[in-house]
């Protein structure tokens, strides 16, 4: 009788593990697709970093940004480093779905810190010379 219980538990464990890996793979593919879409069809804006939370494998960045007069908040998983709380960084977002963003890890230059992003964003990443 114990043999049947061990087989059942083993099968359930394998099914859970298979499901877990399936979810991770689907999430990874979706993340690549979203990034590609934002890079091809997105526009630039800037965000304010409210908080940087460390976790294994990277950081989670809590940001605020606005687009077309509406305020947004987002938590971004980021595997890089050097992101500072209280600073402004460039993001790219989809104009038709502004809650879909990518974090560019490019600090906003000092000449643009006191300037709001345009109502409908920038088509190209702005510089002090192009401003």
Q: CA 35 to CA 41: how far, in whole Å?
A: 10
- pLDDT tens for each residue of 105-129: 889 999 999 999 999 999 999 998 8
> Which are the contacts of 58, defined by CB distance < 8 A and separation ≥ 6?
77, 78, 79, 80
Q: CA 8 to CA 30: how far, in whole Å?
A: 33
Q: CA 41 to CA 46: how far, in whole Å?
A: 17
Mean pLDDT value across the chain: 84
This prediction's pTM = 0.73
**Per-residue pLDDT for 11 more than 70?**
yes
Residue 50 C-beta-side C-alpha neighbours within 13 Å: 9
**Per-residue pLDDT for 1 more than 50?**
no
Instruction: Give the percent of the chain with pLDDT over 90.
Output: 49
Which of these, 61, 101, 110, 117, lies nearest to 84 by C-alpha position? 61
């Amino acid at each position: 009788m114990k043999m049947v219980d061990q087989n059942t538990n083993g099968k359930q464990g394998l099914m859970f593990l298979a499901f877990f890996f399936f979810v991770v793979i689907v999430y990874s593919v979706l993340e690549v697709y979203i990034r590609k879409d934002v890079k091809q069809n997105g526009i630039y804006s800037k965000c304010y970093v409210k908080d940087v939370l460390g976790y294994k494998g990277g950081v989670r960045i809590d940001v605020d940004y606005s687009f077309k007069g509406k305020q947004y908040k987002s938590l971004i998983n980021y595997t890089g480093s050097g992101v500072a709380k209280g600073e402004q960084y460039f993001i790219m977002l989809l104009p038709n779905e502004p809650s879909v963003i990518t974090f560019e890890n490019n600090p906003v230059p000092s000449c643009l810190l006191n300037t709001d992003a345009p109502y409908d964003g920038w088509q190209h990443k702005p510089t002090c010379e192009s401003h």
